[in-house]
Amino acid sequence: MHPGVNCISFTGGDTGIAISKKAGMIPLQMELGGKDACIVLEDADLDLVAANIIKGGFSYSGQRCTAVKVVLVMESVADVLVEKVKAKVAKLTVGAPEDDCDITPVVSESSANFIEGLVKDAKEKGATFCQEYKRDGNLIWPLLLDNVRPDMRIAWEEPFGPVLPVIRINSIEEGIHHCNASNFGLQGCVFTKDVNKAILISDAMETGTVQINSAPARGPDHFPFQGLKDSGIGSQGVTNSINMMTKIKSTVINLPTPSYTMG
């Protein structure tokens, strides 16, 4: 709010929304939270999907804005996919970062408490726990929650930790609807061998970026990186960031000669 500030670029979450409300006419570039959806169709390569769910959902202990935050899988292939993901979760190592473990403590006790609140809500409302919930201080063991329903907090809120909900869907439209009903719109992904369906679903998803047959990712620095709704304002990336931090000014030269007139 200082008069000397003429541009704000911020990466974070709710704090970014608070900043934007106070910024007035100051140009903003905000990269905030996400609830990145992974839509899985019947014809998807489920081994590829499982590998990307592990990479997308549990790398950095899920503490990525572009992490897979909810899996929306067609009912007909859900059982097989869940079993494949469970087998991979069982192989993840848990412990201290200096031991090069796959899952390490989340950033703070308050973050761990928030994640635990989401887990307890899901348990009370009947989600299926694919692993036993386990926590030691800030360290939370990876957890896959199956049969999650829209009335559970974990279906909508961003845990920013190693807890991943699976929602079973019966149509593509149901998956798109859940994705677009979120107040976030950073990234998403769709797994299918049908490129036509992939493009149509990508067009329908209200997110800044859609990955086809791969987990969401920031991408190279020159790629545009943007979110919709509460996920942000503007677009990052080398060129886009320079343009955002540049003001356009036009100078028009009117030559001192008589102008032509009609008639």
pTM, two decimals, is: 0.93
83 included as an active-site residue: no
* CA pair distance 104, 96, nearest whole angstrom: 5
- Contact, 82 vs 146, CB < 8 A? yes
Contact 92, 102 (CB under 8 A): yes
What's the mean per-residue pLDDT of the chain?
A: 95
Instruction: Return d(Cα 86, Cα 125) in angstroms, integer.
Output: 21
Non-local (6+) Cβ contacts of 82 within 8 A are 73, 130, 144, 146, 166
Structure tokens at 252: 């028009």
- pLDDT over threshold 70, residue 133: yes
Please report, rounded to a whole number, the percentage of residues in the chain having pLDDT higher than 90. 92
Fold of 37-212: Aldehyde Dehydrogenase; Chain A, domain 2 (3.40.309)
Residue extents of the structural domains in the chain? 1-31, 37-212
Predicted local distance difference test score (pLDDT) of residue 149? 97
Measured over the CA atoms of residue 8, residue 14, residue 19 and residue 24, the dihedral's sign is positive
> In the numeric block, which tokens belong to residue 47?
């081994």
| C-alpha to C-alpha distance for 70 and 76, rounded to whole angstroms | 18
SS3 126: coil
Contact 164, 215 (CB under 8 A): no
